[in-house]
Structure 1
Amino acid sequence: MSAARISLKAIAFRTRPVRFRLPFHFGNTVVTETDQGFVSVTVEVDGQIAEGHAAQLMVPRWFDKRASRTNEDTVADLKRSLEFACRSAEDIASETIAAATTRMRHAVEAAMPEGTPRLAAHFGPALVEMALIDAVCRAHGLNFPQAAKADLFGVSTLAAPDISSAAITGALAGITPLPAISPRQTVGFDAPIFSGEADRADDGLPVSLEAIIRATGIRAFKIKLKGEPDADIDRLAHIATLVDQTDNYRVTLDANEQYLPDRFAAFLDRLQGDPRLSRLRNSIAFIEQPFARETALTLEITPALSAFPLIIDESDDHDDAFATAIAYGWSGTSIKSCKGVLRALLNYARKVDGRAHGKRLFISAEDLTCQPGLCWQQDTLVAATLGCRDVERNGHHFGGGLQGYDDLEKARLLAAHPDLYRRNDGRIDLRIEDGTVAIGSLFGPGFGR
C-alpha cells in the first residue's frame, strides 16, 4: 500500500485551560497551569473526505528553556507555532503527511521569532500532523498501528542519511502493538515521598509517592535530578527507602540538561559506590538527557559517562538527531508526539535496523504532562504501537479530571473507553489497576479516538 495523498479542505484550532491540582517542579521552572491545544482538520484522502482531531498540552519552559523567557512567553510561542502551522497546512494539496510535515516545519521555523528553539517551532506542525494522521486512518478504516505498518504516512520517503527506505518499510511492517501500558510515575525535585511529608490535597487524591503506589500499584518510576551530585544521591537514597519495598520495580533518571560532563561523571561514581543504592542502582534502565541540548550531540560518550545507557530527549529536535546521537555513543532517544509522530516512527525504524546490525539501541516513551483525554490517548497509542511497555505518564496526577471537556464529551469518552477511565466521586480518573492501564479501546479505526 502506498502512502496516502491528502488535500486540506478545512483546519481550525482552539485552546483550553488546564490547572494543575499540584505544582510540578522540573528543570528550572514550576508549572501550575497552562493551556491545551486542539486541532481539527477536514481533508480529502485518496478521493474520500475525512475529519481528523488531535490534542497536546502546551508545556511551559520545556520546549524553550532560555532564561529570558517566562512560562507565559513560552506558551505564547507554542500558540504562535500552532497558528503558523495551521496557515501552512492550508497549502496541503495531494501531499503525503511526511511531505506536508516537512514543509510546515520549514515554514514555521522561518516565521517564528529569531532564536526560537526548533522544539518550540515544531510544536504546531507536530499537532497538525497528528490530526492528519487521524483523518488518514479514518478514511482507510484502519487503526494507527495498522496504518503505521503499511506506512500510509510516508515515513519511508523521509530523506534519512543513515537508513534506507527499504529498511524503514521493513521495520514498520514488523510493528507489534502492546495491549496495555504501565505508567511510569515521575518523581519531581520536591515531590513528597512518604505520606507524612505531604500536605493533604483538597480532592482526597494521593499526593505522596507512597500514597500513589498504594492507590495504583505502580512499579515504574522516573526520578528527576537537579545536577548537584551530593543532593541527587541523597535524594535517591531517600526514595530508595520506599521503592525498595516494591517488588520488581524499574527506574529511569532524568537530568533535564542540568549536568556538565565532569559533574555527571562524579555523580555516576557516587551512584555506583553508595551502598544505600544497591537495589535501586540495579533497577536503573537508563539516564535521560544529562547534558544541555546545545552541546549534547557534540560530546563523545566516553566510558566514564556511560555506566548506564544514556538517551537524548530535548536534543531530539530534528529528524536526524538520533542518528547523530548514535554516532556519538548514545543508546537511545525518547518518543513524544509533541516532537512528531512520524519522527517517532522513523526512530523506531532506526532502533530496529541498528539492532539488526548488532547495536544495543532502544527507544523510550516520555511525556509527563499528557492529560487524560485525546492527548493521553494518542500519545499512549504511539508508545504502545512501538513496543514501549512502561510509559512516563503524570498528567493524570498533576492535572487530570478530563479538564476542558464538557459533560457530553466526558460521557462520550467514558463510554468509548471504559478500560481507560472510571468515575470516582464525580470525577473521571484514569483507570490504573495493579500498575497497568489496558488500552484495547484505542485500537478502533482512527488515531486513538
Structure 2
Amino acid sequence: MSAPVFRIRAVELAERPVTLRLPFRFGDTLVERTAEAYLRLRVEGPGGVHTGVAAQLMVPRWFDKRPERDNARTVDDLRRSLRTVAGLAPGLRGSVARLAAESRAASLSVLCAGADALPRLAAGFGPALLEMALIDAACRSGGAGFAATVRADALGLGPLAPPDLTPDGLSRHLAGLRPAPEIALRHTVGYDAPLTAREVRQRPDDLPVSLDEVVAATGVRWFKIKLKGDPEADIARLEAVAAVLAPLGRYGATLDANEQYLPEAFTEFSARLAAARTLAALREGLAFIEQPFARETALEHPAPPGLPALIDESDDADDAFPRAAARGYAGVSVKSCKGVLRALLNSARVAAAPGRAFLSAEDLTCQPGLCLQQDTAMAALVGARHVERNGHHFAGGFQGAPEAERAAALAAHPDLYRPGRRGPEPAISGGRLRLGSLGAPGFASAPGPDFTAMKNTIFQEETGS
C-alpha cells in the first residue's frame, strides 16, 4: 500500500527563550542562554487538514564551530535555516519522506551556497524540524502513534531507500521495529563540571549540581564523559570521575571528545587509557568514543583503533554513516535535530550488520516538553539502549510555557513527568524513564505547545491553489 500524500499549506515558526541554570561548556564554547525553536505546519491530505508540531533547542556553536562565528551568530544561522525551509515548503506535495527530501534539498541549495554559506549540519536544522512536524501530521492523519506509523511505512521511506538498502528490505526492517517501554538515561559529565558536592562553588537552586548529587537523586548508571583533547589532562579527569563512580560497582560509560583531538594526541590518550590501573573499572564499562576528530577531516582518514568510534558532528548527510563505516567507524549518533528519517535509515544499516555496527542516542540539550518527547520516542524505536539526557539538568523547567500547558503535560504523560520545583520534570527512577504515554496518536506531541505564548512568530502560507 502506498504512503499517504500530503500538501503543505502553511508553516509557522516561533520560539521561547531558555536560560541555563548551569552554564555548560563543550569544546571551546560556553552556553548560558539561547532559545528553543518551534515549528507548526498545516497539511492537506487523507481525511482533510491536519497540523503537526516540532521543537528543538537552538544550540550555539555545535552545528557550526567556525571560530569567526560567535554564539549569537550561530543561533541566528539556525533561524535562517528555519526561515528558509518555511518559505520553500508551502505548496510542496508528496509523501512525508518525499516532502522531507525535497524541502531539505531545496533549503541546502540556498543555504550552502554563496559568500555566507552554512555547513550542511547547520543548514539542515530547519528541514529537520519540518520533517518532524510532517511526521506528527501524518501520525495524526492516521490516528496512530509514531511507532505504528513507522511500521506501516506510512511515511513512504521504503520507496526512497538509498543505494545501500533495498526498498523491500527497508520496509521489512521498519515493520519489525518495536518501541522500548522505558529507556536508561546517560548523564553528561562536562569536563569542568563539579564531581562532588564540596566542589560546587555556586548553587542556583536546591536541585542536584555535582555528579555525586545527580547519581544519588536519579540512580543513573550510564555516563557520558567529556574530553578536552589533552591526553594527560583527560586521563586525570577520567581518574577523578572513576573515583566518584567507584561505589556504584558496575556502570556504563561513553567518551565524547567533541572534535578536540588530533590523531597523534589521540594515539597517546588511547595508550594511557589502556595502561592506567586506576581506570580498570571505567574501561570495563566503556562502550565507545564519540567524534574524536574534527568533522571536516574525520572521514578522510581511518577510524582510530581500539575503542569503537562513533560519528556525531560528521553525520551531516544521509550517506555519512556508510562513508564512515568504510573508514572503520562502527557507530553513528541519532538525533532528531539531524533527521528522524535518517535515524530510521541508520537503524536499518545497523540491523544489516549485527555485531559490526551500532547507533547511540546523543542529545544533551533536549528540553522537557515537545523536544524531549519526540527525540526520546525516536531513540526508543530505533533500538537505543540508553540516551544522553541532560536538558532538564542544565536548563529545564518548561521555560516559557503557561501554567495550562504545564498541567496538560503532567496529565498527558504521568509516566514521563512529575511535578517539580520549577515545573514538570522528567520522572527519573532507577536511572530510567518510562515511555508508555509517548505512544498516543501523533509523534509524541501531546498535549502540544501553546503558540500564543511564544515570541518571534513567523507565518508562511501557500499563495497559489
Is the structural similarity TM-score above 0.5? yes
Partner deviation per Cα, 1:87-139 (whole Å, 9 max, x = no partner)? 1111222x112211222122222322543110000000000110110000011
Partner deviation per Cα, 1:296-353 (whole Å, 9 max, x = no partner)? 112122xxx2211101000100000001011111101000000000000011111111
Amino acid at match of 1:189: Y
- Cα distance, 1:24 vs structure 2: 0.1
Secondary structure at 1:402 match in 2: coil
CA distance in 1, matches of 2:54, 2:424: 20
1:257 maps to 259
1:13 maps to 13
Secondary structure at 2:387 match in 1: strand
1:196 maps to 198
Moved more, 35-44 or 334-343: 35-44
- Cα distance, 1:148 vs structure 2: 1.0
CA distance in 1, matches of 2:77, 2:376: 25
Secondary structure at 1:427 match in 2: coil
CA distance in 1, matches of 2:44, 2:423: 38
- Cα distance, 1:426 vs structure 2: 5.4
- Cα distance, 1:262 vs structure 2: 1.4
- Cα distance, 1:199 vs structure 2: 2.6
1:206 maps to 208
1:90 maps to 90
- Cα distance, 1:10 vs structure 2: 2.0
Please give the TM-score of this superposition, normalised by the length of structure 1. Answer: 0.96
CA RMSD in angstroms, aligned pairs only: 1.2
2:322 maps to 323
CA distance in 1, matches of 2:105, 2:18: 30
| 1:208-223 matches, cutoff 5 A | 208-223=210-225
- Cα distance, 1:155 vs structure 2: 1.8
CA contact 1:63–1:119 (8 Å) conserved in 2:
yes
| 1:145-224 matches, cutoff 5 A | 145-224=147-226
CA contact 1:171–1:353 (8 Å) conserved in 2:
no
Q: 1:386 aligns with which of 382, 388, 406?
A: 382
Amino acid at match of 2:383: G
1:421 maps to 417
CA distance in 2, matches of 1:311, 1:19: 30
- Cα distance, 1:200 vs structure 2: 4.5
CA distance in 2, matches of 1:185, 1:316: 22
CA distance in 1, matches of 2:120, 2:52: 25
Amino acid at match of 1:88: L
Q: Which runs of 5+ in 1 are unaligned?
A: none
CA contact 2:235–2:273 (8 Å) conserved in 1:
yes
1:272 maps to 274
- Cα distance, 1:380 vs structure 2: 0.3
1:239 maps to 241
Change (3 A) 1:270 1:425: same
CA distance in 1, matches of 2:54, 2:119: 23
Partner deviation per Cα, 1:336-383 (whole Å, 9 max, x = no partner)? 00000000001111111122xxx5111100000000000000000000
- Cα distance, 1:2 vs structure 2: 2.3
- Cα distance, 1:231 vs structure 2: 0.4
1:445 maps to 441
Secondary structure at 1:287 match in 2: strand
Partner deviation per Cα, 1:382-416 (whole Å, 9 max, x = no partner)? 00011212100000000001112111111110111
Change (3 A) 1:35 1:315: same
Q: How many residues align?
A: 442
Moved more, 289-298 or 369-378: 289-298
2:80 maps to 80
CA distance in 1, matches of 2:54, 2:312: 22
1:55 maps to 55
2:106 maps to 107
1:362 maps to 358
CA distance in 2, matches of 1:213, 1:200: 19
CA contact 2:191–2:226 (8 Å) conserved in 1:
yes
CA distance in 2, matches of 1:385, 1:372: 19
Please give the TM-score of this superposition, normalised by the length of structure 2. Answer: 0.93
CA distance in 2, matches of 1:428, 1:163: 41
Amino acid at match of 1:337: S
CA contact 1:334–1:365 (8 Å) conserved in 2:
yes
CA distance in 2, matches of 1:199, 1:151: 51
Moved more, 283-292 or 102-111: 102-111
- Cα distance, 1:424 vs structure 2: 2.6
Q: Which runs of 5+ in 2 are unaligned?
A: 446-465
1:42 maps to 42
1:29 maps to 29
Amino acid at match of 2:328: G
CA contact 2:21–2:204 (8 Å) conserved in 1:
no
Amino acid at match of 2:38: F
2:130 maps to 128
CA distance in 2, matches of 1:420, 1:199: 31
Change (3 A) 1:442 1:139: same
Moved more, 423-432 or 182-191: 423-432
Partner deviation per Cα, 1:233-284 (whole Å, 9 max, x = no partner)? 0000000001121143100000111111111111100000000100001110
CA contact 1:219–1:435 (8 Å) conserved in 2:
yes
How much identity, in percent, do the aligned residues show? Answer: 51
CA distance in 1, matches of 2:241, 2:373: 30
CA contact 1:200–1:207 (8 Å) conserved in 2:
no
CA distance in 2, matches of 1:18, 1:252: 27
1:336 maps to 335
CA distance in 2, matches of 1:168, 1:139: 23
CA contact 1:219–1:247 (8 Å) conserved in 2:
no
CA distance in 2, matches of 1:216, 1:106: 42
Amino acid at match of 2:32: T
